[in-house]
Amino acid sequence: MSETPEGSKIAEIIINTTAKRLQQTFSYIVPDHLDVRIGSRVLVPFGHRREEGIVVALREHLDEAPAFELKPIEGLLSTQTGFQEEMIRTALWIRDYYVCNLSDALRLFMIDKKGLIRGAVLSLGPTAPQGPRQTQLQAYVAERGEVEKGTLGRKFGDAAVEQALKDKVLISHISYRNRIKDKMEDWLSFAADDNEDILHGRRRQQALLAALKEKGEAPVSYWQKEGFSRDLMRRLCATGLARWSQRPTRTANILPSMQGDAPLTLTAEQEKAVKVIGSDETSKTYVLHGVTGSGKTEVYMHLAAQVLERGKQVVVLVPEIALTGQIVRRFLRRFDDDVVVMHSQLSQGEKRNNWLRMQSGTSHICIGARSAVFTAAQSLGLIIVDEAHDSSYKQDEAPRYHAVAVARKRAEYYGCPVILGSATPALGDYYRALHGDYVLVELKERVGKRPLPSVQVVDMRDELARGNYRVVSDALLDLLQATLVAKQQAIVLLNRRGFSTFVMCRKCGYVVKCDTCDVAMVYHRQAEKMRCHYCDAEKPIPTVCPSCGSKYIKFFGSGTEKVEAQLHELLPTARIVRLDQDTTRRKHSGDRIIEAFRRHEYDILLGTQMVAKGHDFPGVSAVGILSADSLLNLPAYWAGERTFQLLTQAAGRAGRGDVPGRVVLQTYAPDHYAIQCAARQDYKAFYDQEIEARRELGYPPFQEMAKILVTDEDETAVWRKANDVAAALHSWNKEHGEAVAVIGPYEDIIKKIRGKYRLVLTLTGDDLTAVKLAMQHLPACWQSGVIIDADPL
């Protein structure tokens, strides 16, 4: 046993690895010469290796003598991409709330997850430099944190570097470096104006200083466009009045922004919304409930402009960049240089540059899908979540976080408001706006007082009785024909892709199923394959029954491919384009299809729920919804809510231009309130009914819910594991006054996916905090294949 050196601080470190057994923190001594802070990424000796660690806490001394000798931290890794203290706090919260590993939670904030390579680097040692050469060398290293030996040798000479190492002005260690070289651009910023007089008689420099004083800072390329030469800028810097610096470049955007666009004059409702949210003082969450076409984006942009005025930053979350290019373009057009767009198709280097721009405060607006909620920031002034009800904000792999909850957590730290914008707010959010600590802000009218579309509900049972066996009802066919004649556009929604949804032998009833999942395979005509929608496995199309050899193979059900074929037959002159997972596999193809449709290169846009994602197509006056019930029959408490949201959003695409919208909604359950309310686009009526049902049944938001999924390739093992989990939870429950209800295990909706059997347990209770913390330590819950999902959607 040994004492820590007198006066040394102790750092609590987690090792950056996914190994579950390394989830606890480890203590290390902080050497005096290292500027270690909470969030620093450090190099530590670990067993026989060196590992990357993340500092999650610092202490002045140990509370008790350690069981073994503490080792010192060996070096700091790139200080640029360390964690901010707020990130550590949020990650700790994510760990506890979503029951995951701390390192997994922290990794959500890391930009260069895979960008690290091992190598020898030099960083500052404990000894002061001797002589001007070593002072220069030290300054060079100090500025960069750590430098490759070779690089340093080329700059200062190998001998000088060896001497500095010998003198302990520098120390050498193995480090993880970023694989990526940052692309930098030159910036010029205002520095001081106290000795302006020295510019006496130098008119151009005076003009530049005045412009700088006004703007503060801008890329050198900007000043060149303003007519100032680089040479002039350098000379001004030499006086100390301006500063030259290098910052990460902005990534070229996949979505080209067009010319600048000026703010619109707000409608009275929009103005009121901007006023309420803009005067937020208590960092509240605002549910911005605006009917489709009410101009929510304009409200976002006005509020963002106000935040920028105060020098703070804004995060804008959208469901999916490729499908919501329009809002991104609008932000780019208005704020141009100040916007970085985070999307999955960026290279690692581009992501890093964007991240660093936000971290350094060079850019002020970050737009992206779910994961952009983890962006670095100097100081956040606003987080906007557009289409906040969208299920893509929930991550369905560990850590299973919800971006809205993370946004709220981060906003709490920064003291800034969060906006949850939607025409169909998530039920829980709306409930909290009415009864809890959220604030409701409404936009009840469409811009220009355009009417909401009129909706005709078609009962498909009548259609069958009349002898129409097509997927498209007569009413919808009439509407589409009229729309084409009027040279307007239409959207047709069908929530099933492929051609036929299952293939069955008429003689023996055999259904073509996936070999590893317990589901029927879908016939894809274009690909000429049977395809599993759960694991993407493919099979050839059977010509005879694989089971009895009969030739009576029949194709049942219709997906988007089949409807496309039917529409081509029914409307031979129509230009039809399909938008679903199959047509958007290639990069940017989703955005390309959407933009081509917007330019009226097509008359009908047919597709899955992708067609309903907040698009603003002024040319669309008609919408057809082919099967309103596809989600309704799912055995999940949110089935009604999802149905209402999808139908209302789809209908809301119609009539956003000058021609009033018309919608045909086909269903087998015309009396269901989710369908009735969607037909009237009456959110409040739906909410009132649905919230009562939830209250009676004790579903969220009245009770918290967590889902535990247990998987295993062996059917006996999966039951044994799930029963272990259940037993552990029951015994915890007994000791804690039966605080939660444990239901299950029972078979999941789909019994088997990718060869693994699936069982489910659900937990409900007024407050699951305690049981979730307990689960972190229940061995049964950490068995392989046990997946915990707080807030299941």
Question: Residue 58: beta bridge partners?
Answer: 11
Q: How many CB atoms lie within 10 A of CB 383?
A: 29
Could you tell me the two tokens for 108?
A: 């959500």
Could you say which of ligand ADP, Zn ion, none residue 24 binds, taking C-beta under 5 to 8 angstroms by partner kind? none
Give the residue, chosen from 53, 75, 145, 290, that forms a contact with ligand ADP under the rule CB under 6 A.
290
- Identify the residue among 39, 115, 295, 619 touching ligand ADP (CB under 6 A): 295
- Say what angle helices 427-435 and 683-697 make with each other, to 10 degrees: 90
Q: What would the x/- binding string for ligand ADP be over residues 394 to 433, using CB under 6 A?
A: ----------------------------------------
Query: Given phi > 0 = left and psi -120 to 50 = alpha, else beta, which region is 246?
Result: beta
How far apart CA 32 and CA 277 sit, in angstroms, is 46
Question: Which of Zn ion, ligand ADP, none is residue 296 near (CB under 5 to 8 Å by kind)?
Answer: ligand ADP
Q: How far apart are CA 427 and CA 686, in angstroms?
A: 10
**Of the two residues 528 and 658, which places its CB atom closer to ligand ADP in the complex?**
658
55, 376, 612, 667 from 296: Cα distances, Å = 41, 26, 16, 30
The answer to whether residue 319 forms part of the interface with ligand ADP (CB under 6 A) is no
If contact means CB under 5 to 8 A according to the sort of partner, which of ligand ADP, Zn ion, none does residue 266 touch?
Answer: ligand ADP
Letters for 499-538 (x = contact with Zn ion by CB under 5 A, - = none) are ------x-xx-x---x--x--------------x-xx-x-
Ranges of beta strands (E only) in 324-405 are 339-342, 365-368, 380-385
Give the total of residues touching ligand ADP (CB under 6 A): 15
Whole-Å CA distances, 75 to 168, 199, 670: 14, 45, 67
Task: Map residues 582-621 to x or -, x wherever contact with ligand ADP holds by CB under 6 A.
Answer: ----------------------------------x-----
Nearest approach, Cβ of residue 291 and ligand ADP (Å): 7
Return the one option of Zn ion, ligand ADP, none that residue 57 interacts with (CB less than 5 to 8 A, by type): none
| 733 touches ligand ADP by CB under 6 A | no
Q: Which is nearer to ligand ADP, 268 or 465 (CB)?
A: 268
Q: Which of 547, 566, 689, 783 binds Zn ion (CB under 5 A)?
A: 547
Residue 522: how many CA atoms within 13 Å on its side-chain side? 21
Q: Please say which residue, 146 or 748, places its beta carbon nearer to Zn ion.
A: 748
**Tell me, what DSSP letter sits at residue 747?**
E
Answer for which of 292, 627, 630, 648 binds ligand ADP (CB under 6 A) is 292
Report in angstroms how near the CB of residue 617 gets to ligand ADP at its nearest: 10
What does each C-alpha distance from 215 to 26, 212, 393, 431, 454 come to in angstroms?
47, 5, 37, 44, 50
Partner touching 244 among Zn ion, ligand ADP, none, CB below 5 to 8 Å by kind = none
From Zn ion, ligand ADP, none, interface partner of 514 (C-beta below 5 to 8 A by class)? Zn ion
Looking at the Cβ atoms of 557 and 618, the one nearer to Zn ion is 557
Q: Which is nearer to ligand ADP, 267 or 703 (CB)?
A: 267
Piece in contact with ligand ADP (CB under 6 A), picked from 162-170, 185-193, 292-300, 393-401:
292-300
Stretch that binds ligand ADP, among 20-28, 50-58, 290-298, 403-411 (CB under 6 A): 290-298
Q: Which does 362 bind (CB under 5 to 8 A by kind): ligand ADP, Zn ion, none?
A: none
Q: Which does 507 bind (CB under 5 to 8 A by kind): Zn ion, ligand ADP, none?
A: Zn ion
Backbone angles phi, psi at 737, to 5 degrees: 60, 35
Which of the choices ligand ADP, Zn ion, none does residue 547 contact, using the CB cut-off of 5 to 8 A by kind?
Answer: Zn ion
Query: Could you tell me which residues come within 8 angstroms of residue 604 by beta carbon, excluding any fewer than 6 positions away?
Result: 480, 489, 490, 491, 492, 567, 571, 574, 575, 576, 577
In terms of Cβ atoms closer than 10 Å to its own Cβ (0-12, 13-18, 19+), residue 166 is exposed
| Cα–Cα dist 54/511, whole Å | 52
Q: How far is the CB of 288 from ligand ADP (least distance, A)?
A: 9
Least Å distance, CB 409 to ligand ADP, is 26
Measured from the CB atom, is 248 or 421 closer to ligand ADP?
421
Q: Is 298 in the site for ligand ADP (CB under 6 A)?
A: yes
334 lines the binding site for ligand ADP (CB under 6 A): no
Determine if 447 is a binding residue for ligand ADP (CB under 6 A). Answer: yes
Q: Which of 449, 435, 99 is nearest to 269 (CA)?
A: 449
Token pair recorded at residue 425? 């707010």
- Determine the 3-state secondary structure of 557 from DSSP: coil
Which option in Zn ion, ligand ADP, none does residue 264 bind, with CB closer than 5 to 8 A by kind? ligand ADP
- What residues are paired with 242 via a beta bridge? 190
Distance CA 676, CA 686 (A): 9
Compute the distance between CA of residue 563 and CA of residue 557 in angstroms, rounded to an integer: 11
CA distance 91 to 88: 5
Q: Which stretch binds ligand ADP (CB under 6 A): 237-245, 289-297, 463-471, 755-763?
A: 289-297
Q: Which is nearer to ligand ADP, 267 or 285 (CB)?
A: 267
Token look-up 């890391």 returns: 110
Rounded CA separation 736/772 (Å): 13
Beta carbon nearer to ligand ADP, 96 or 616: 616
Burial of 190 (0-12, 13-18, 19+ CB in 10 A): buried
Query: Residues 614, 392: contact at Cβ < 8 Å?
Result: no
Q: What is the DSSP pairing of strand 756-765 with strand 704-712?
A: antiparallel
State in angstroms the smallest separation of the CB of 446 from ligand ADP: 7
Residues 250-279: x/- map of binding to ligand ADP (CB under 6 A)?
--------------xxxx--x---------
The residues binding ligand ADP (CB under 6 A) are 264-267, 270, 290, 292-298, 447, 616
The residues binding Zn ion (CB under 5 A) are 505, 507-508, 510, 514, 517, 532, 534-535, 537, 545, 547-548, 550
